[in-house]
Homo-oligomer: A and B are copies of this chain.
Amino acid sequence: MSQSTMIESRLHIIVRSTDIDFNRHVNNAKYLEYMEWGREDFYQLAGAYYDTLLDLGVITVAANVNLNYRKEAVQDDELIVITRPARIGTSSFTVGQTIIRARDDELIADAFVTLVAMDVNTRRSTPVPDLLRHAFLT
C-alpha cells in the first residue's frame, strides 16, 4: 500500500519597496496578500486552478483569518510562504500558513485561513469540489 504525501507549497518572495509603510516594515495588510499568493500556489500544486474551479461554477472566498505577526520584515528580505492543508469540511476548509525569512528560517508570521467554496452565480456556499478536497485527504 502506497503512502500518501501531503501537498505543501513553499513560495519564495522578495519584500518590495511598496510593501513597506512609514514604519519601514511590511504593512500588516500586505501579509494577507502574501498569504493569498501562497494559497494560489497551493491550489495549483493540487491541480485546482482558478479557471478549473470556475468551470465547475465555484470560487473560494475567505471566511476567517487568524494571523499572528511575529517579527518585522523589511525591504529586500526573501521570505518563504509555506501553505499546508489543516482541515476539510463540507463546504469549507482551513489551511495553515507560515511565513519564514529565508536567510535564517526566522518565523515572521503564521496564520490559519478558513475559506468557503461559493457558487459563483448564487453567491451561496457549496460543497468543496473533489478536485480541491483531495489535497486535504492525502
Q: Which A residues are closer than 8 A to B by beta carbons?
A: 16-18, 20-25, 27-30, 32-33, 36-37, 40, 50, 59, 61-69, 72, 75, 123
The docked-state distance in angstroms from the alpha carbon of A87 to that of B50 is: 39
The docked-state distance in angstroms from the alpha carbon of A37 to that of B76 is: 10
The docked-state distance in angstroms from the alpha carbon of A17 to that of B29 is: 11
Known pairs A16-B36, A18-B27, A21-B21 / 6 extra A-B pairs, C-beta < 8 Å: A16-B40, A18-B37, A21-B22, A61-B72, A65-B66, A72-B123
What are the residues of chain B within 8 A of A25 when measuring CB–CB? Answer: 61
Most buried by B among A29, A33, A75: A29
The docked-state distance in angstroms from the alpha carbon of A61 to that of B33 is: 18
Whether B17 contacts A37 by the Cβ 8 Å rule is yes
Q: Which 3 residue pairs of A and B lie closest in terms of their CB atoms, listed nearest first?
A: A29-B32, A28-B62, A18-B33
Whether A21 contacts B28 by the Cβ 8 Å rule is no
The docked-state distance in angstroms from the alpha carbon of A40 to that of B27 is: 14
What are the residues of chain B within 8 A of A20 when measuring CB–CB? Answer: 21-22
The docked-state distance in angstroms from the alpha carbon of A69 to that of B60 is: 12
